[in-house]
Structure 1
Amino acid sequence: MNGCLRRAKECIYWPGMDAEIREYVSRCSTCRSVDVKQLKESLISHTFPLRPWAKVGTDIFHFQDYEYLMTVDYYSSFVEDDCLENVTSKEVIKCLKRHFSRNSLSFPGIGRFNIPSQAHTFPNPMIIEILQLNEGLQSSPLQRLTGRRTKTRLPTTTSLLRPEIHDESEAIRRQKLKQAHYYNQGSKDLQQLKPTQIVRIQPSGQHKTWRKAMVTKQVGIRSYEVETEGGTYLRRNRRQLRATTEDHNTSTADPPVTRKQSDAVTKSIPTTESIIAQPKPQLQQKPTTTRSGRTARPPKYLKDYVTK
């Protein structure tokens, strides 16, 4: 966009030129297919639960040729890892039933079981976030989950093993506010999309360019369902969708040129030899006289220039 405006300003101008060039470039299919990524949006933190296992988060990650299911308690940050025999909904549900039977039922849950092909590799981003969240707290995740310390091989007095409730909710809230403060630096909230609005989908996997699609509906916070030109329905985050002013199912490519049209255009374009062979027109200048009637002649070093 800036390059087009800069080059246009160097050679031409008309009223409203910037607005017209911006409008034309915004509808260019080639330019829109090679756009850069959008800025990240501001962080939306989860609400802090009031008890252990009231809210859990789950994710699937890959480590040393095996797939693992990680379950995290949002209250205590306690982590449960399970090795999956196969990445299916039935296997994930079986693992979660074991955890809920030992602890308690949780609602709601945050997970991503339906896309095992995009499983994270170790180290998992969720693990890194949990480790950062536990910095500065006075108790471990197990202490916040069970309300006591566990007996280990290290020498421990009996008084430290007695049950004790550790309420770290206020400290965790401060950690979340601090995390959001640093994350939101350089972020920008994008406008909400509407149904039937035309967008471009950020490249991923085998697709190297931004594909054109149409918004069908909003399915969650910053989450939209879109329909591509091929009829495929996809669900994408708002950051992965760039709004555009293009028309759906249309192409801005030039129409095919026939052989006759190509020959006519070729004949109408003058060649370099014909331009050089053409004689240059001689400019006739009227002689200039002074007040006394003497003819003024320009200096010889100006013979190659047109003087007034």
Structure 2
Amino acid sequence: MRLMRYEYEIYHVPGKTLYTADALSRSPQREIGRGEEELQTAVEAYVDSIIETLPTSESLLEEIRRKLHEDSVLRIIMKYCEEGWPGYEYPSIDLVTRPFWQIREELSICQGLLMRGNRLVIPTVLRAEMLQRIHEGHQGILKCRERVRNSVWWPGINREIEDLVKSCSVCVKNRHDQAEPLRPTKFPDRPWEMLGTDLFHLKNDNYLLVVDYFSRYVEIAKLKSTTSQSIVNHLKSIFTRHGIPDILVSDNGPQYSSSVFQTFSKDYGFRHQTSSPHYPQGNGEAERAVRTVKRLIRNADDPYLALMAYRATPLKNGSSPAELLMGRKLRTTLPENPRNYYPKWPDLERVRQVEVQYRQNQKLNFDKSRRARPLSQLNTGETVWVKGEGGGTTGTVKARTQQSDRSYIIETDNGPIRRNRRHLEPASMLKDEVFASDTFDEDNNAQCEKKFST
């Protein structure tokens, strides 16, 4: 109040430059004189103006006054504010009133209301109601704290706001997906060891795509039918040209989850690995290849030449997909020295170093741009809110899948489903939902993985 009439600048002076004692800032408090009385009057007028302009009804203020005098702790605090605090030693204060000790200089009484600065101190019995008013609109933790910064206060209000927002059923159901730290795919040891596959639709036609994780060599096939048997036949044709991979990664489309495809993977001796439903990042290599191939086909006059040009173009590691897969360059429409077409393997060690560094940079950029942080693991039997179309549903955690520790089998009213951890919100604190609780043992893990429908 005393400094409001001045315009001033504040400068910090390091303690090491104070060669003499700063006596003025440590001078004892003087007796209240005429100037102090004027200051006290001005302060009281300022506080009175705050009370008069509070955006609340007189009935609510009257209720707060009544509850303040009924509150055993705040009644003592108000007495301290009027008669003085009992000494200046912290241990001399009663345990229940200690939260007010550090802010005792900010507390005051005005018109029967206990104030901390320009904030009303709320009695204990009214705090639950005030919390609900603070969370109107279901804003986040920071926004709710901003709302109370100039309105109400009580000890631990910030923690109670955080607990309320985290346990709010509406907030849990509509919370945005939190990105987890990126896990780059391990660079394979050799070509055609690990493949990704996906289906896509373009210009009224359906296509099957297969991409090699080592060389990024792409094979595509136009489909007359999207049945599992048609997919299997085209994959067999591709495998006869390049061999059978160790691992084939796909999404959970019906063509890949059918018994026909499971029999195909068993007969040909490769491991079929699937990503979580509604989580295309789990099959990121194929998804990225689909986007590239769509651009080539959409923009090119001759899609075959465009695809051949992609296969012959060097990647960031300095070698083209054809060189990394077959050890030779492809002859394209561009004229080139015939000697360049002689078989010659790239320096695979250098390629590996470049690819590892590239994946590390991708991880750093992804984690920083999306503010990724690890999500807590879910326990068997824990109730969760499953995000999805139609608003989502509730379910119970049955197990983590063997393919990824971020993928879970969830038991819902419509049967077991599989979801990534990003799509699951722990709902153990929700009070307005009824959950089913079933038992589960580890022997059912493999059975659950085969049973999930989507």
Same fold (TM over 0.5): yes
Question: The residue matched to 2:174 in structure 1 has which SS?
Answer: coil
Specify the alignment match of 1:215 in structure 2.
397
Whether the aligned pair in 1 keeps the contact of 2:207 and 2:222 (CA below 8 Å) is: yes
1:149/1:126 Cα in 2 relative to 1: closer, same or farther (>3 Å)? closer
CA contact (8 A) 2:200 2:290 kept: no
Q: Aligned-pair distance for 1:239?
A: 0.9
Shift of 1:57: 0.8
Q: How much is the aligned-residue C-alpha RMSD, in angstroms?
A: 3.2
Unpaired runs of 5+ in structure 2?
1-139, 256-276, 281-285, 294-309, 435-454
Counterpart of 1:301?
Answer: none
Please list the CA deviations of residues 185-205 of structure 1 after superposition, one character each: whole Å capped at 9, or x if unmatched.
12111111111112222233x
Task: Indicate the residue corresponding to 2:231 in structure 1.
Answer: 92
Partners of 1:89 and 1:113 within 8 A in 2: no
Residues 227-285 of structure 1 show CA distances to partners (whole Å, capped at 9, x for unaligned) of 23x3432211111112233358835xxxxxxxxxxxxxxxxxxxxxxxxxxxxxxxxxx
Larger relative CO (CA 8 A, sep 6+): 1 or 2? 1
**Which of 359, 382, 392 is matched with 1:176 structurally?**
359
Q: 1:172 to 1:21 in 2, by over 3 A?
A: closer
Q: Deviation at 1:156? A: 2.8
Instruction: Find 1:126's aligned residue among 289, 297, 300.
Output: 289
**Percent of aligned pairs with the same residue?**
27
CA distance in 2, matches of 1:182, 1:129: 21
Q: Which residue of 2 aligns with 1:300?
A: none
Q: 1:118 to 1:85 in 2, by over 3 A?
A: farther
Counterpart in the other structure of 1:44: 183
2:344 corresponds, among 164, 167, 173, to 164
CA distance in 2, matches of 1:101, 1:135: 26
Cα offset, 1:169, TM superposition: 2.3
Please tell me whether the aligned partners of residues 211 and 218 of structure 2 are also in contact (alpha carbons under 8 angstroms): yes
Q: CA deviation at 1:137?
A: 2.8
2:373 to 188, 196, 201: 188
Equivalent pair of 1:26/1:245 in contact (CA under 8 Å) = no
Q: Distance in 1 between matches of 2:223 and 2:202?
A: 11
Residue by residue, what CA displacement relative to the aligned partner does 1:155-180 show, whole Å, maximum 9, x if unpaired? 33332121100122222222222222
Q: After TM superposition, give the deviation of residue 6 of structure 1 in Å.
A: 4.9
Residue 218 of structure 1: how far off its partner (Å):
0.7
Check conservation: 1:60, 1:68, Cα contact below 8 A: yes
For residues 64-120 of structure 1, the C-alpha deviation after alignment (integer angstroms, 9 at most, x for no partner) is 222211100111110001122222222221111111111111111111252579899
Match of 2:172? 32
Does structure 1 conserve the Cα–Cα contact (< 8 Å) formed by 2:200 and 2:208? Answer: yes
Whether the 8 Å CA contact 1:32–1:210 is kept in 2: the answer is no
Q: Is the 8 A contact 1:60 1:112 kept in 2?
A: no
In the TM superposition, what are the counterparts of 1:112-261 in structure 2 within 5 Å? 112=251, 114-115=253-254, 124-127=287-290, 135-166=315-346, 167=348, 168-185=351-368, 186-204=371-389, 207=390, 209-219=391-401, 220-228=404-412, 230-246=413-429, 250=433
CA contact (8 A) 1:41 1:190 kept: yes
**Structure 1: stretches of 5+ with no match in the other structure:** 252-308
Q: Could you tell me the TM-score, scaled by structure 2's length?
A: 0.48
Distance 1:138 1:24, change over 3 A: closer
TM-score by length of 1: 0.68
Partner AA of 2:326 in structure 1: T
- More displaced stretch, 166-175 vs 235-244: 166-175
Deviations 1:42-79, CA, capped at 9 Å, x for gaps: 11122212221111111111212222111001111100
Count residues with an aligned counterpart. Answer: 244
Contact 1:61 1:119 in 2 (8 A): no
Q: Retained in 1: the 8 A contact 2:169–2:430?
A: no
Displacement after TM superposition at 1:143 (Å):
1.5
Q: Name 1:295's counterpart in structure 2.
A: none
